[in-house]
Amino acid sequence: MRWIALILLVAVIAVAAALYGMMTGEGEDDPLRVVAAGGGGSSAESARPVPDWTAMLERHTPPQPGSAVAFTDGQGQPVSLADFKGKGVVVNLWATWCGPCVREMPSLDRLQAAVADDGIQVVAVSSDREGLLKVAPFLAQHRLYRLPPYLDPKGDFTRSLAGRGLPRTYLINAAGEIAASYIGPAEWDDPALVAAVRELAR
C-alpha cells in the first residue's frame, strides 16, 4: 500500500506544479504567445523595406523628342503634347483591363493633387477600344476626379512612344521633350517620385 500512497503523492505534486505554472506563466514557450507579444506577427511586415520607386525611372540625357501623334479628350477633340507646351506633363498610358494600371491610378490622382501648384499636368491616356463609354464610368467609380479622360482607342499615340506593355509613364518637360520614362506600375505619390516629377517635368 505504501507504493500507492507514493504514486498519489507524486500525482498531487505534479498537479500542483502545473497549476502554479498556469497561474504564473513560468516555463511557457508557446510560439503563438511569442508572436502575439511581438505585435501579432506583423513585425516582419513592418520591417519590410519600402521600394525605391525611382530606381526604375529612366532619365533621358539629353531629353528625347515627344510624340506628335494626337489622342482625344473627353469631348472627342484631338489633343497632342504640343497643346501642353510650356508646362510639365506626366503622360501615363493605361487601360481599364490592365490590373497594374488600375492599381496605380489612385496614386496618379494623388500625384496630380501634389503637383498642381507646380503647373504640372497628369495626362492619363486610355487605350480602351470602347473609349469614353468605358473610361468615364471607371474614373467616376474609383473617384479619380483629378484625372480627366484622355482616349487613344486605336492605340496610335500609345505606339508612337518608345516601350512595350502597360502601364508606361513619361515625364515631359516644358519644351515638350521626354525627360524620363517609367515602365511598369509605381506609387506615384511616393515622396521620392513626386520630387523626381517636379525636377524633370518642368
pLDDT digits (tens, 9 = 90+) for 29-67: 332 222 222 334 444 445 567 789 999 999 999 999 999
DSSP state of 166: S
104 and 189 assigned to the same domain = yes
pLDDT at 20 over 60: no
Question: What's the mean pLDDT in 104-110?
Answer: 98
Q: What's the number of domains the chain is made of?
A: 2
Cα–Cα dist 83/73, whole Å: 12
> What pLDDT is stored for residue 195 in this prediction?
98
75 and 131 assigned to the same domain = yes
9 and 95 assigned to the same domain = no
24 and 75 assigned to the same domain = no
Between 59 and 17, whose confidence is greater? 59
99 and 151 assigned to the same domain = yes
Mean pLDDT of all residues in the chain?
83
Question: What's the mean pLDDT in 81-90?
Answer: 96
Comparing 16-25, 61-70, 82-91, 158-167, the range with the smallest average pLDDT is 16-25
70 and 138 assigned to the same domain = yes
pLDDT at 22 over 70: no
195 and 127 assigned to the same domain = yes
Q: For the chain, how many helices (H) and strands (E)?
A: 7, 8
Q: What's the domain range around 162?
A: 53-200
83 and 38 assigned to the same domain = no
pLDDT at 193 over 50: yes
58 and 35 assigned to the same domain = no
| Of the candidates 199, 60, 64, 172, the residue with the CA atom closest to the CA atom of residue 118 | 199
Q: Which residues in the chain belong to E strands, given as ranges?
A: 57-65, 71-73, 78-79, 88-94, 120-126, 150-151, 168-172, 177-183
pLDDT at 11 over 90: no
pLDDT tens digits, one per residue of 132-162? 999 999 999 999 999 999 999 999 999 999 8
What CATH code is carried by the domain that includes residue 188? 3.40.30.10
